[in-house]
Amino acid sequence: MAQFDGKIAIVTGASRGIGRAIATELGRRGATVAAVARADNAKAVADDIVTGGGVAEAHSLDVTDAAAVEALVANTLRRHGRLDVLVSNAGIARDQLLLRMKRADWDDVLATNLTASFTLCQAVLKPMIRQRAGRIVAVSSVVGQTGNAGQANYAASKAGLIGFCKSLAREVASRNVTVNVVAPGLIETDMTRAIAEGARETWAAQIPLGRMGSPADVAAAVCFLASDEASYITGQILAVNGGMYM
Ligand code: NDP
């Protein structure tokens, strides 16, 4: 299993669900984890990592606040002297058929799911390029690959993330910085608990592996792409979807 001793990792959306599993797993494998969420929400996961013998710090910020994101990266560099891994995971959904979709719901989803990744990546690139090493992993979605009725804003943000990461991968590959995407399918978190029971069952019935995924399933894939073992992999989409889309 890949280890992360001595590595510094930023994980956004670390308070719950998939991001929490990613932060926990990176911490368990030896990374120093900067766990990011709004308010004091990342404190619990940081405390859990520390209780488990790892190193973590909680950061309270909204990823749509560009100045706060830049300050987070500068602060992490000042404290640790390097930055090895960025996991851009924070995301929201504001589902509605397009005819009824409010402009604010389009803007909020794009700002959180796509523009925040732009801000984060731009901030971490300079130190990673200077180090001649870095791993960026963005959490997209199967919906970014297939589209989904009622999720035009979400699908646009997640498909945008794929194009963004592939372009960035080409820009920074010569500096030994890799940029990859993990595309989860239907994963058991607060986000999917909001889906009506009947609809969840209909979705789950379409999954060849016959079950929803767990946050740990996604965390394992993210840790692989963030590890030294994935040094010859860049610009890829790793689907963690139980075969839902092949
Ligand atoms: P949850 O709703 O369980 O958690 C979302 C996380 O994002 C929370 O930690 C939340 O932190 C954080 N977050 C949201 N907005 C902001 C913001 N503006 N600033 C900082 N943090 C923010 O979602 P999941 O764990 O299910 O999803 C994680 C990622 O995986 C998302 O990008 C999602 O789109 C993607 N995904 C999820 C799938 C699923 O089936 N669950 C499937 C495919 C992709 P807090 O509210 O505490 O600030």
For residue 54, the CA-to-ligand 1 centroid distance in Å is 23
- Within-domain flag for 192: yes
**Does 81 fall in a domain?**
yes
Give the CATH number for residue 231: 3.40.50.720
Q: Is residue 245 part of a domain?
A: no
The whole-number pLDDT of residue 154 equals 98
The mean per-residue pLDDT over the stretch 59-66 comes to 98
**pLDDT tens, residue by residue, 127-174:** 999 999 999 999 999 999 999 999 999 999 999 999 999 999 999 999
- Whether pLDDT at 61 is above 90: yes
Longest dimension (CA), the chain: 51
Question: 158 or 199, which is more confident?
Answer: 158
Residues 83 and 136: their CA atoms lie apart, in Å, by: 11
Task: Look at the chain and report how many structural domains it folds into.
Answer: 1
Residue 189 CA to ligand 1 centre (angstroms): 9
- The predicted-structure confidence for 177-188, as pLDDT tens digits, reads as follows 999 999 999 999
2 part of a folded domain: no
- State the residue range of the domain holding 110: 8-240
Atom 10 of ligand 1, residue of closest alpha carbon: 13
List, for residues 82-125, the tens digit of each pLDDT value: 999 999 999 999 999 999 999 999 999 999 999 999 999 999 99
Give the closest residue (by CA) to ligand 1 atom 32.
91
Q: Which atom of ligand 1 is nearest to the CA of 20?
A: 9
CA of 203 to the centre of ligand 1 (A): 20
Residue pLDDT, tens place only, 13-58: 999 999 999 999 999 999 999 999 999 999 999 999 999 999 999 9
Classify residue 98: in a domain, yes or no: yes
Ligand 1 neighbours, Cβ below 6 Å, are 12-19, 37-38, 41, 62-64, 89-92, 112, 139, 141, 184, 186-187, 189-192
In this prediction, residues 63-75 reach a mean pLDDT of 98
Q: Does residue 183 sit within a domain? A: yes
Active-site residue, selected from the candidate residues 8, 63, 143, 154:
154
Nearest to 180 by CA among 125, 131, 237, 97: 237
Specify the pLDDT at position 177. Answer: 98
Distance 5 CA to ligand 1 centre (A): 26
Residue 196: the pLDDT is 76
With respect to residue 1, please indicate whether it lies within any of the assigned structural domains.
no
Residues 207 and 196: their CA atoms lie apart, in Å, by 17
Which range, of 67-76, 92-101, 202-211, averages the lowest pLDDT? Answer: 202-211
Q: Give catalytic status of residue 232 as yes or no.
A: no
Atom of ligand 1 nearest to the CA of 15: 9
Domain-located, residue 55: yes
